[in-house]
């Protein structure tokens, strides 16, 4: 179907998207400025990727889904990149094994930057000569590409943190330390049950997994006013939390024993004192900061130990929908969760992704994007759990109340934490 908006409106949208595109692409590269050239290639685990790969993959995404189908004069930069930098799109061709991305010393970082420049130039040329008959599809895919690149900015910082942590030198990405503050006592806010609407309301961008908006029945519930702190989680550890099978889901108990987990990821004990690795290097554990890098299994076990539970994603979204999207995001420059600064319902946005008890599955009436882009979210709706709210390395304009993140229950290298809930 032809795009029906007036030409002037199409041009305005193209100009606005062109500016956002340039800003997003520049921000990805700015996040790499503190890195040394050797840091770009390191991959310290199967679940992480080298920074160089993120720079290339986000470029491949625009090349594959924008330039190849819509720019007839586009010249492919390097045909081999279609295999090297495809992530998981089976219908787009073959892809290099994820666990071996760190073995690729070539192409060089310099060549990846040339690749980015080549694709950026072609993207802006496409926007400047936007064909009316395909304008709707082009603009929609550019917006999706911008949001995809923004997701990879967060992934890049998560992966750099893990890569640096594995290094015995424990190098710092930068020095972003903030003055310590004392978190307020944990309180509770009550919410009435009933039929509520969740899912994206249709205003602005959303991913397909946020749609359609639909009704959900919730019961009366209460939500903790802030995230669980390091000090509170230490009490769980001191009470034998990691040695008590009655607190753990069966698969969680198997996981912590097989992997020898005794504390959250990035915690190290020196004598009687705990330290925590951050993107600012090793730091004494701040008891008032929210506990970070928990798996779903750990978050669930802590909730059971507390006599509470994790919220459902419907409860979380209902509570968050009336609040402005503000908090400790990427733009703060801290790149680390901070202690709550005030009373009331806080930290729903920013600081840490919050585990819910909801399995990641489709909403009633869900329809994946057509074609290869349908692989973006829908094919992962199995064996994963939903997290909400964004974190300290998420861009603020990337988050909304309906945003659904998802990870496997044993994952914990992302910035994930826990907020307690209970029945009302």
Contacts 24+ apart (CB under 8 A), 97-105: 98/46, 98/49, 99/46, 101/43, 101/49, 101/50, 101/53, 102/41, 102/42, 102/43, 102/44, 102/50, 103/43, 104/41, 104/50, 104/52, 104/53, 105/41
Q: Does a structural domain hold residue 217?
A: yes
Residue 67 DSSP label = I
Range 256-274 average pLDDT: 97
| pLDDT confidence tier of residue 4, bands split at 50, 70 and 90 | very low
**Nearest alpha-carbon partner for 187 in 342, 309, 356:** 342
Distance (Å, whole) CA 197 – CA 356: 18
* pLDDT for the residue numbered 133: 86
The number of beta carbons lying within 10 Å of the beta carbon of residue 418 is: 28
Q: What is the pLDDT of residues 239-260, one digit of tens each?
A: 999 999 999 999 999 999 999 9
Element (H, E) at 323: none
Same domain for 319 and 203? yes
Distance (Å, whole) CA 162 – CA 338: 19
The number of beta carbons lying within 10 Å of the beta carbon of residue 236 is: 22
Q: Does a structural domain hold residue 2?
A: no
Beta carbons of 357 and 309 less than 8 angstroms apart:
yes
Same domain for 408 and 316? yes
Identify which has the larger pLDDT, 220 or 6. 220
Same domain for 146 and 270? no
Token readout for 30 is 């700015």
Token readout for 86 is 């495809």
Same domain for 146 and 214? no
Same domain for 266 and 139? no
Q: Does a structural domain hold residue 376?
A: yes
Question: Residue 369: which domain range?
Answer: 188-423
% of the chain residues with pLDDT over 70: 98
Token readout for 48 is 């992480």
* pLDDT for the residue numbered 342: 86
Same domain for 100 and 208? no
Examine the pLDDT at 404 and tell me if it is beyond 60.
yes
Same domain for 109 and 230? no
Distance (Å, whole) CA 51 – CA 29: 10
Contacts 24+ apart (CB under 8 A), 154-158: 154/330, 154/391, 154/393, 154/394, 154/395, 155/49, 155/54, 156/28, 156/31, 156/32, 156/51, 156/54, 157/31, 157/279, 157/330, 157/335, 157/393, 158/48, 158/393, 158/413, 158/414, 158/415
What is the pTM (predicted TM-score) of this model? 0.96
* pLDDT for the residue numbered 365: 96
Q: Does a structural domain hold residue 256?
A: yes
Residue 359 DSSP label = E
Same domain for 263 and 372? yes
274 pairs with which residues across the strands?
269
Same domain for 40 and 139? yes
Q: What is the pLDDT of residues 74-125, one digit of tens each?
A: 999 999 999 999 999 999 999 999 999 999 999 999 999 999 999 999 999 9
Last residue of some domain: 166, 198, 229? 166
Same domain for 99 and 246? no
Last residue of some domain: 102, 134, 166? 166
Distance (Å, whole) CA 137 – CA 70: 9
Last residue of some domain: 166, 198, 214? 166
Q: Does a structural domain hold residue 183?
A: no
Distance (Å, whole) CA 356 – CA 191: 17
Q: What is the pLDDT of residues 175-211, one digit of tens each?
A: 998 888 899 999 999 999 999 999 999 999 999 999 9
Q: Does a structural domain hold residue 181?
A: no
Q: What is the pLDDT of residues 11-47, one digit of tens each?
A: 889 999 999 999 999 999 999 999 999 999 999 999 9
* pLDDT for the residue numbered 1: 26
Examine the pLDDT at 327 and tell me if it is beyond 70.
yes
Strands 385-388 and 281-284: unpaired
* pLDDT for the residue numbered 9: 75
Beta carbons of 223 and 189 less than 8 angstroms apart:
yes
Those residues with Cβ within 8 angstroms of residue 175's Cβ, 6 or more apart along the chain or in another chain: 280, 281
CATH of the domain at 50: 1.20.120
Examine the pLDDT at 5 and tell me if it is beyond 80.
no
* pLDDT for the residue numbered 3: 34
Q: Does a structural domain hold residue 179?
A: no
* pLDDT for the residue numbered 238: 98
Same domain for 160 and 213? no
Q: What is the pLDDT of residues 281-310, one digit of tens each?
A: 999 999 999 999 999 999 999 999 999 999
Same domain for 160 and 208? no
**Number of domains within the chain:** 2
Mean pLDDT of the chain: 96
């Amino acid at each position: 179907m032809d795009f029906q908006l007036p030409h002037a409106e199409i041009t305005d949208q193209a100009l606005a998207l062109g500016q956002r595109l340039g800003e997003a692409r520049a921000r990805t590269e700015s996040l790499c400025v503190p890195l040394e050239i050797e840091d770009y290639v390191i991959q310290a685990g199967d679940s992480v990727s080298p920074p160089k790969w993120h720079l290339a993959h986000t470029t491949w995404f625009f090349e594959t889904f924008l330039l190849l189908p819509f720019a007839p004069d586009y010249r492919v930069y390097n045909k081999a990149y279609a295999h090297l930098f495809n992530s998981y799109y089976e219908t787009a061709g073959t892809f290099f094994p994820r666990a071996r991305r760190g073995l690729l010393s070539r192409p060089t970082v310099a060549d990846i930057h040339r690749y980015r420049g080549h694709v950026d130039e072609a993207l802006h040329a496409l926007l400047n000569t936007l064909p009316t008959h395909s304008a709707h599809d082009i603009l929609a895919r550019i917006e999706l590409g911008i949001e995809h690149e923004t997701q990879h900015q967060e992934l890049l910082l998560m992966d750099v943190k893990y890569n640096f942590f594995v290094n015995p030198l424990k190098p710092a990405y930068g020095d972003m330390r903030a003055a310590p503050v004392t978190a307020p006592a944990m309180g509770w806010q009550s919410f009435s049950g009933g039929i509520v609407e969740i899912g994206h309301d249709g205003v602005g961008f959303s991913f397909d997994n946020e749609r359609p908006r639909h009704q959900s029945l919730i019961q009366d519930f209460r939500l903790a006013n802030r995230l669980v702190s390091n000090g509170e989680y230490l009490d769980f550890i001191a009470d034998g939390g990691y040695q008590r099978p009655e607190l753990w889901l069966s698969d969680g108990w198997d996981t912590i024993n097989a992997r020898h987990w005794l504390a959250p990821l990035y915690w190290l004990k020196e004598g009687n004192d705990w330290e925590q690795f951050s993107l600012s290097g090793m730091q004494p554990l701040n008891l008032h900061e929210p506990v970070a890098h928990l798996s779903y299994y750990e978050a669930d076990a802590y909730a059971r130990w507390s006599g509470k539970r994790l919220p459902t994603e419907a409860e979380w979204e209902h509570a968050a929908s009336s609040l402005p999207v503000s908090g400790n995001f990427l733009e703060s420059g801290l790149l680390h969760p901070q202690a709550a600064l005030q009373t009331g319902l806080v930290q729903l946005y920013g600081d840490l992704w919050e585990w819910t008890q909801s399995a990641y599955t489709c909403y009633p009436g869900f329809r994946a994007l057509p074609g290869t882009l349908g692989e973006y979210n829908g094919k992962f709706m199995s064996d994963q759990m939903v997290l909400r709210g964004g974190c300290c390395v998420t861009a603020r304009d990337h988050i909304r109340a309906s945003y659904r993140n998802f990870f496997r229950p044993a994952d914990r290298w992302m910035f994930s934490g826990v907020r307690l809930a209970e029945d009302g």
